[in-house]
Structure 1
Amino acid sequence: MSNFAENLASLPAIDHLDALELLHGDTVQARMENKQGQAGSLRVYHALYQEFGCINAVAADKGLRLYAEHTEDARANPGKHPNIDRLFAVDAAQPFAVRLIAK
């Protein structure tokens, strides 16, 4: 079974990104920046966007698998991992659009 660090190392680089925003329509629902404490989530969400073109229910399921051991911790401690909590709550009827913000 893989862990988050191994999964993260297998994802595309994010050196070219300053941030990523999740949108419902024109409204920004969340922003992840390329800085300590957020870069891992930025890398996960960027990889999901590259594969799926948005953050829909299928992308969210894969994201939860990529977060590996952190997913169980998020289930046990709601609010501790907001970027994982967001994947639990992805609405199949209204996926998140993604806006990439280049450096």
Structure 2
Amino acid sequence: MIFKDILATLPAIDHLAALELLDGDTIVARIDNKPGQAGSVRVYHALYQEFGSINATAADKGLRLYAEHTADAQARPGAHPNIDRLLALVEGGTPLAVRLVAA
């Protein structure tokens, strides 16, 4: 499956304005529910619903959900920061908590 088709299978995010990723009390990233980032909000939201945080197991699944974009991120570090974050988690990075920001 390609990313577009995978997105259609994930839970809706209409109720979210953004999703924040936290290391302890520190916000390390904010992904806004807007064009260009909504797909990442949908992926991270689905991972949070399934795993309760973004840990190595969630990150591994997330890389599969991003489908063809994962290979592009690996070939071009920095081009896809939301995928780069998952790659770092799979390699042993610190798990991140999630805070949902209501719309």
TM-score for both structures, normalised by structure 2 = 0.96
Find out whether 1:96 has 2:96 as its counterpart. yes
Q: Residue deviations 1:19-43, cap 9 Å, x none?
A: 0000000000000001001000000
Change (3 A) 1:34 1:93: closer
Q: Residue deviations 1:33-63, cap 9 Å, x none?
A: 0100100000000000000000000000000
Question: After the TM superposition, which segments of 4 or more aligned residues of structure 1 sit over 4 Å from their partners?
Answer: none
Tell me the distance in 2 between the aligned counterparts of 1:34 and 1:81.
16
- Indicate the SS of the match to 1:48: helix
Find out whether 1:7 has 2:34 as its counterpart. no
Task: Count the aligned residue pairs.
Answer: 102
Aligned residue for 1:39?
38
Aligned residue for 2:60?
61
Find out whether 1:24 has 2:23 as its counterpart. yes
Deviation, 1:94, is 2.7
Contiguous gaps of at least 5 residues in structure 1: none
- Indicate the SS of the match to 1:94: coil
Tell me the distance in 1 between the aligned counterparts of 2:77 and 2:92.
21
Tell me the distance in 1 between the aligned counterparts of 2:69 and 2:38.
15
Letter in 2 for 1:10: T
Deviation, 1:92, is 4.4
Indicate the percent of aligned positions where both proteins have the same amino acid.
Answer: 72
CA RMSD of aligned residues (A): 1.1
- Indicate the SS of the match to 1:89: helix
Tell me the distance in 2 between the aligned counterparts of 1:82 and 1:20.
15
Tell me the distance in 2 between the aligned counterparts of 1:84 and 1:101.
21
Letter in 1 for 2:100: L
TM-score for both structures, normalised by structure 1 = 0.96
